[in-house]
Structure 1
Amino acid sequence: MHSKLITSRRFLAVTLLNILITVVEIIGGLLSGSLALLSDAIHNLGDSLSIVMGFCAQVIGSRPENAKRTFGYRRAEILAALLNGLLLVIISVFLVVEAVQRFNHPQPIDGPIMLVVAIIGLIANLVSAVLLHSGSTSSLNIKATYLHVLSDALSSIGVIIGGIVITFTEITWIDPLITIIVAIYICYKAWPIIHKTLSILMQSSPDIDYPAIKHDIVAIDGVVSVHHVHAWMIDEQRIIFSAHINLPDIQLSEVEPIYLEIEKLLHTKYNIGHVTIQAEVERGLDEELFNTPADKE
């Protein structure tokens, strides 16, 4: 299911759940003295902001192309995914700093309160994860938001374990230890999202078989050579492709069927959604696939 099918009601429900969890955990953290619980509350507050941002980006990204944005607004979701990933890392660094300070200055913690509040947080996070799961496999934006919720669920599990240990053993250093473990895990899961969104924003080439593409295009009747190839991604779904091809000196009406065949090939075999082809006769015959000398730009 595509991210566009994730309804505004689901986003609203997840946002309200995260706000509720945040309030409950802030109160519980202050009453129990648990850093893990307070850090989870801060994390949930960040999640609420990221979910709202993700929803806004989804609405903006669905807007059609126009004269000002000829490729549409799909990059809005990529930007939101990047910001969400960076927010996860920033929160994690904050948690680690606070946990280290707590190691140096241990404080008494009320285990039972910590445990009850963490269980409430876990239930709410699991409900949120179920609401977002259907769109998490096809959109980086939804995946980033979904990851926020899952990391919160993991954090809640860690806090539950900590609450059990503190309740029965009074070993309070388990609280900052769990905080650090959760923070490291969050960074580990956030990095692939940051890496891919940056790659898309930098217009890095998608992972497709360029030699095979050249072989298939040249195999089309009439095509002599392929050069000056460019490929990039608007979002994680749509690949943009442009190339120059060398043809015999034929009429334009004979060129158009070749264009259509190339477009069909690239779309069906390589999942390339937008294709721009420039036909030439002799110009560029000596160029390689990616060879674009400055004097020929």
Structure 2
Amino acid sequence: MAHSHEHDHGSHAGHSHDLGNADKNRVLIAALLTGGFMIAEAIGGLLTGSLALLADAGHMLTDGVALAFAWYAFHLAGRAATSRMTYGFHRVKTLVAFVNGLAVLAIGLWITYEAWERFNTPAPVLGGPMLVIAMLGLGVNIAAFYALHGGDRDSLNMRGAILHVLGDMLGSVAAMIAAAVIIFTGWTPIDPILSVIVSLLMFRSAWFLVHESGTLLLEGSPAALDRDKIAADLVAHVSSVREVHHVHIWSLDGARNVATLHACLERSAEPFAAIKAVKARLATAHGITHATVEPEIEECADYGKAHGCHDGEHSHEDDHKHAHAGHTHNGSRHLH
């Protein structure tokens, strides 16, 4: 049985490499800005007694480390594939995104606990110095966010980095508001209240990041790619293909999508031309630029003729035997 495996080369690969280098530089700038100001903010939080500042400094500490890991993930992703790491190191970015999401969740829980302690044991807060430090922190965070803003939004690693900086921006804004309220009213409970609100805002984004990156680490299909619809689309738009099955779709980092599938061809089809047509359709219509296509004429190499790579309907016994693959009937065509 013929088999074709085509790699993701050419102009697309060159474009991805350039974009990856740009994103790496963006993340490095954000890491340096965040890590540099974190020390000043932590000292300011201790001197002023502000939980909001300490919470934001905690954000920035973890975020500085997370951004450094994100930068290193981009650095690793630039390495060539090896005989053992056959896809290269792109998946490291997904792993870092997953860890970053967990880190944001952990920070939020810590801030919530500290806020509860602060409610039970109120402490004086110096509103004036707190406001100045928060404003400086916001300026640094805006600069870091601006550095990341033009990055690749399809990259989970970049989205994780942006999430961390966005959390820092919200923390700085909350600290500014708390400082203003304390200055004009003397009501110190606003400090832990706003800290908790910022944490709750970050929980939702962090959860989605953990869920999406975790799905990719488990080889799940990206949310934007529906396996059954893609199989149906290939049958509908590639004239030499009358059935598609054994379809697997996954992503290395949220941006580089990969697929393997079996394509049952018409008996008159030329296999090489059919494979090229399937690959072209996957790339242009679905953004899958790395695909392995196994052409079949009369029977499936894995399942034999019972799988349905022939004319006519399945028997009930055949359907039961291959129920794990799933069946979508469309006349004499079956999608698995």
TM-score (norm. length: structure 2)? 0.80
Hey, what does 1:203 align to over in structure 2? Answer: 219
Paired residues for 1:246-265 under 5 Å: 246-247=264-265, 254-265=270-281
- Structure 2 residue 243 is the aligned partner of structure 1 residue 225: yes
1:209 CA drift (Å): 4.4
Equivalent in the alignment of 2:87: 71
* Alignment match of 2:54 (pick from 27, 33, 38): 38
Distance 1:154 1:171 in 2: 21
Match of 2:230 among 213, 218, 236: 213
Structure 1 contact 89–190 (Cα < 8 Å) conserved: yes
Counterpart residue type for residue 84 of structure 2:
K
Contact 2:50 2:130 in 1 (8 A): yes
Instruction: Compute the RMSD of aligned alpha carbons.
Output: 2.3
Q: Is 1:241 the counterpart of 2:285 in the alignment? A: no
Worse-matched range after superposition: 87-96 or 265-274? 265-274
**What residue in structure 2 maps to residue 186 of structure 1?**
202
Query: Partner residue of 1:4?
Result: 21
How far 1:101 moved relative to its partner?
Answer: 0.4
Is the 2:79–2:89 contact (alpha carbons within 8 Å) kept by the matching residues of 1? Answer: yes
CA contact (8 A) 2:227 2:249 kept: no
Q: Which moved more, 1:39-48 or 1:212-221?
A: 212-221
Task: Map 1:156-171; keep pairs closer than 5 Å.
Answer: 156-171=172-187
The SS at the match of 1:228 is strand
Aligned pairs (5 A) from 1:68-107: 68-107=84-123
Cross-structure match for 1:120:
136
Change (3 A) 1:197 1:209: closer
Q: Distance in 1 between matches of 2:68 and 2:106?
A: 18
Name stretches of at least 5 consecutive residues in structure 2 with no aligned partner. Answer: 1-17, 300-304, 309-313, 327-336
**Farther-moved stretch of structure 1 (234-243 vs 166-175):** 234-243
Shift of 1:214: 3.3
Unmatched runs of 5 consecutive residues or more in structure 1: none
Letter in 2 for 1:75: R
Cα deviation per residue 1:204-259 (whole Å; 9 max; x = unaligned)? 123334444334433534434222222121221122222222235679xx311111
- What is the percent sequence identity of the aligned residues? 35
After superposition, where does 1:5-24 map in structure 2 within 5 Å?
5-8=22-25, 10-24=26-40
Report whether the alignment pairs 1:56 with 2:45: no
Q: Quick check: 1:131 aligned with 2:147?
A: yes
- For the residues of structure 2 that align with 1:13 and 1:217, how far apart are their CA atoms? 43
Q: 2:169 aligns with which of 150, 153, 174?
A: 153
For residues 87 and 65 of structure 1, the distance between their equivalents in structure 2, rounded to whole angstroms, comes to 29
Letter of the aligned partner of 1:240 in structure 2?
A: V
Q: What is the total number of aligned residue pairs between the two structures?
A: 290
In the alignment, is the contact (CA less than 8 A) between 1:238 and 1:272 conserved in 2? yes
Between 1:267-276 and 1:277-286, the stretch displaced more is: 277-286
- Tell me the distance in 1 between the aligned counterparts of 2:70 and 2:226: 32
* Contact 1:203 1:233 survives alignment (8 Å): yes
Q: Deviations over 1:123-145 (max 9, x none)?
A: 11111111111115232111111
What is the CA–CA distance in structure 1 between the aligned matches of 2:253 and 2:230, rounded to whole Å? 21
Deviation at 1:7?
4.5
Q: CA deviation at 1:13?
A: 3.2
Q: Cα gap change, 1:36/1:84 in structure 2, threshold over 3 Å: closer, same or farther?
A: same
Shift of 1:100: 0.3
2:194 partner letter: I
Residue 6 (structure 1) shift? 2.3
CA deviation after TM superposition for structure 1 residue 40, in Å: 1.1
